[in-house]
Amino acid sequence: MTWQPKYTITNRLIATMRRIGEAIGEIKTLGLSPNALARLELEARALSTHASTSIEGNPLPLTDVKRLIKAGPVHIRDTEREVLNYNKALQKIYADVKSGIFRLDAATMESVQAIVVDGLMDNPDHVGKIRQEPVLIRDPRQPDSVVFIPPNHEDVASMVKELASFITDNADEIDPIILAGIFHRQCVIIHPFIDGNGRTTRLLTTAILGQGGLDIFEIFAFENYYNRNISRYFQAVGLQGDYYECEPSIDFTAWLEFFADGILDELRRVRGIIPTDAPVRLEDHHRRLLTYIGEHGSISQREYGQISNRSLAARKQDFQKLLALDMIERRGGGRSIYYVLSDK
C-alpha cells in the first residue's frame, strides 16, 4: 500500500499560501541585478547555516558563521566544522537544483548526510548510510527521559523509499510548499540516520522547494523562523511516544500551517531588506503569457500549461508576478479562474 499522509488544506493554510505567492511575486517584480542576487544569496546561506546548526545546539553566533564561511579557519573545532559542513551541503543543494540534476531518493539523502556529519562521527558506518540500529530521542534537558522512539531500523529503508516516491510522484499535483512540509516532518519522524537528521532534513526541504518552482529559494532562509521559534518548531514537527502507537493518528495539518508561516515570515524579511527602487524585469515566459492574453482575450491555468513547459508551481508564480504588477486581473472562481489584461 502506497504511503499517504493525512492532512487538511485549511482556510488558514490557503490564506498563508496566497500571501506567500504574493510575496514571491512582489520580490520577483523587482528585477534584481545579478550582483544584488549574489549578495542576498550569501546572506541567506549564512543565515540558513547559522539557524539550522543553532537549532541543533551549535553555540556559534551569526557573526562567527559569516567569518567562517568567508575565510575558513586553519584549525577547526567541531562547532566550526559543523557550520562549514552545512554551508558546503547548502552550496551543493543550490547547484544541483539550479542545474536540474537534483533527485530525491535514498542515495541523495545519504550523500547530503555524509557532508553534514563529515569529520564529526567516530563510526564510519554512521556516515552516509541509512541507520541499521535503533535510536531513542531524549529530552536534552533531561537526558534520562525518552521523548520519542522512532521506527525500527528494519523499516527505515522502505519508509524512506515511500516518502521519496510520494514527493516525486506528486511533484506536478501538489503545491511544492505542501510537499516540502510533508517531507520535512515525515523525515524527522523516520529519523533515518544515527546523527545529522535535522540538518539533512532542512537541507533537502530547501531542495524540494527549489525544485518545485520556488525559484527564489536561494535568497531566503526558512530555518531562521524555526530557530527564532525553536520550542514551537520542536512541538510542531515532532512526536512523543512510540512511533507505532502514534502512527494511526499522525496528522500533518498543524505542522503545515506552521511550516507555511515560516516561509511567509522569511519572505517578508527578505522583502524588507531589498531596496524599493529596483527596476522591473519581465522574463520571456511573462511576455509569452501577456502576448497570448492579448491575442485571445484571456488565459486559464490549463491553457498556460499547454503553451509552456514550466512546472505548475512556476506557472502560478508567473501569474502572481503579473498580478502584483497590475498587468493582469483575475476573473472567475474555483476551477473557472482565468486572467485578462488589466485596465489600470
Domain with residue 120: its CATH number is 1.10.3290.10
> What mean pLDDT value characterizes the chain?
90
Domain count of the fold of the chain: 2
Residue 332 has pLDDT above 90, yes or no: no
What pLDDT does 1 receive? 61
Identify the band that residue 282 occupies on the pLDDT scale cut at 50, 70 and 90: confident
The answer to whether residue 60 is domain-embedded is: yes
Residue 279 has pLDDT above 60, yes or no: no
What pLDDT does 239 receive? 94
The answer to whether residue 1 is domain-embedded is: no
Residue 114 CA from chain centroid, whole number: 20
Mean pLDDT of 154-175: 96
What pLDDT does 128 receive? 96
Mean pLDDT of 162-183: 95
Q: Can you read off the three cell numbers belonging to residue 66?
A: 559569516
Lowest mean pLDDT among 2-16, 269-283, 324-338: 269-283
List, in sequence order, the alpha helices (H) in 217-311.
223-228, 230-237, 243-246, 253-273, 284-296, 301-307
Domain with residue 302: its CATH number is 1.10.10.10
What pLDDT does 215 receive? 67
Residues 65-123: tens digit of each pLDDT: 998 888 776 678 899 999 999 999 999 999 999 899 999 999 999 999 999 999 999 99
**131 to 94, 126, 134, 190: CA distances (angstroms):** 26, 7, 8, 10
Three-state SS for 81-110 is HHHHHHHHHHHHHHHHHHHCCCCCCHHHHH
Lowest mean pLDDT among 73-82, 165-174, 304-313: 73-82
Minimal CA–CA distance to 20: which of 173, 175, 172, 167? 175
DSSP-derived letter for residue 143 is E
The answer to whether residue 3 is domain-embedded is: no
Mean pLDDT of 28-43: 79
Report the distance separating Cα 241 and Cα 288, nearest Å.
53
Mean pLDDT of 135-163: 91
268 and 172 share one domain: yes
Domain boundary among 216, 244, 273: 273
The answer to whether residue 5 is domain-embedded is: no
Lowest mean pLDDT among 128-132, 136-140, 262-266, 323-327: 323-327
The answer to whether residue 278 is domain-embedded is: no
Report the distance separating Cα 137 and Cα 150, nearest Å.
8
Residue 137 has pLDDT above 80, yes or no: yes
Mean pLDDT of 247-270: 95
What pLDDT does 105 receive? 96
156 and 77 share one domain: yes
Domain that holds residue 246: 11-273
The β-bridge relationship of strands 338-341 and 299-300 is: antiparallel
DSSP-derived letter for residue 248 is G
Residues 206-248: tens digit of each pLDDT: 999 999 877 677 888 989 999 999 999 999 999 999 999 999 9
The answer to whether residue 2 is domain-embedded is: no
Identify the band that residue 26 occupies on the pLDDT scale cut at 50, 70 and 90: confident
Are 211 and 313 contacting, i.e. CB atoms less than 8 angstroms apart? no
The strand pairing partners of 339, in sequence order, are: 299, 330
231 and 321 share one domain: no
Q: Which helix (H) or strand (E) holds 339?
A: strand 338-341
Burial 75-114 (b: 16+ CB within 10 A, else e): eeeeebbbbbbbbebbbbbbebbeeeebebebebbbbbbb
User: Who's near 329: CB < 8 A, 6+ residues apart?
Assistant: 323, 339, 340, 341, 342, 343
Are 56 and 78 contacting, i.e. CB atoms less than 8 angstroms apart? no
**Hey, CA dihedral for 50, 55, 56, 57, is it positive or negative?**
positive
245 and 289 share one domain: no
What pLDDT does 278 receive? 54
Report the distance separating Cα 56 and Cα 199, nearest Å.
8
